[in-house]
Structure 1
Amino acid sequence: MTSLETRYQIVDLAPAHAEAFRMLNEAWISKYFALEPKDQAVLGDPQGEIINKGGRVFMAIQDGEPVGCVALMKMTDGGFEVAKMTVSETLRGSGLGRALMQRCIDAGKELGATRLYLETNSGLGPALGLYRAMGFRDLPPADTPYIRADVFMERRY
């Protein structure tokens, strides 16, 4: 067990985490962009918009407090979209983002996913570096409900 694993626990979203999932994501999105209608729908109802549709939400917990999160949203092509990934500002650079992404990769495999897909913004350099380091490759632009999305990536199984 690494020191990261002893400091953080990554668990499935529980009803008690829903507010933290919303607040963690609203904080980073609002810092760099504007909250969009799709954000509000997903963040306002992760159970209905993600989990009930075959997806997963993972929360990183440290000392009983949610400090990071990520969602896997089921896609119609057999893949899952990695979405709403963030880590508390004080923990950025700690390796927690990598641990959350690895949990997504492992879960995708467990779920029989054909690929993981994500949309992001070219201004988010550390995130892009993480995604590329974890095997994601750039795709051509795609239709998206997000105004901020200008980078599209996937990781095939």
Structure 2
Amino acid sequence: MIKIVPFQACYQAMFRSLNEEWIKNYFEMEESDYKALDNPQEYILDNGGHIFIALLENIPVGSCALIKINSNNYDYELAKMAVSPKAQGKQIGFLLGKTALDKAKELGAKKIYLESNTKLKPAIGLYRKLGFKEITGYSSPYQRCDIQMEYIL
């Protein structure tokens, strides 16, 4: 059984390792990655964001963050989405994304932003399935990002 739960400190090591695993598999860790993954409480939660953890049979296997951003155009960024390779193919990414978008709506958000890389075809497909549309014109602090998308609530 899959459950999506709010982040707790006991999930910090898993949050970091899951995200670090996929990032290092395709790219390199960047300064912004270390900030968010080493200090999720300070960097994400204390700034009005939320982190969701996917539990499969009560074992953490996925994560997704909703990061509050200071922008005239967007309320939150969907970020740090990761699912353990052992748990992929079970709709966990979709459930995490849906939970984050539902939370954003509950908080009164109007637009959600995300950055990714077109090399990550399953992730891009997931974002489209969730309802994100590709946009242009925004610069990213991440070297690996070559696509930006938005979701209008």
Q: Please give the range of the TM-score, normalised by the shorter of the 2 chains.
A: over 0.9
Alignment pair present for 1:142 and 2:150: no
Alpha-carbon distance, 1:64 to partner: 2.6
TM-score, reference length from structure 2: 0.96
Unmatched segments (≥5 aa) in structure 2: none
Give % identity. 40
Unmatched segments (≥5 aa) in structure 1: 1-6
Q: Please, which moves more after superposition, 32-41 or 59-68?
A: 59-68
Q: Distance in 1 between matches of 2:57 and 2:93?
A: 17
Alpha-carbon distance, 1:143 to partner: 1.4
Alignment of 1:49-64 (within 5 A): 49-64=43-58
TM-score, reference length from structure 1: 0.93
What's the secondary structure of 2:10's corresponding residue? helix
Q: Distance in 2 between matches of 1:37 and 1:50?
A: 15
- For the 8 Å contact 1:141–1:151, the answer to whether it is kept is no
Alpha-carbon distance, 1:62 to partner: 1.8
Q: Distance in 2 between matches of 1:143 and 1:15?
A: 32
Count of residue pairs the alignment pairs up: 151
2:36 corresponds to: 42
Q: Distance in 2 between matches of 1:111 and 1:135?
A: 18
Alignment pair present for 1:122 and 2:118: yes
For residue 81 of structure 1, the aligned residue among 59, 77, 84 is 77
2:148 corresponds to: 152
Alpha-carbon distance, 1:141 to partner: 3.9
For residue 17 of structure 1, the aligned residue among 11, 22, 39 is 11
- For the 8 Å contact 1:141–1:150, the answer to whether it is kept is no
1:113 corresponds to: 109
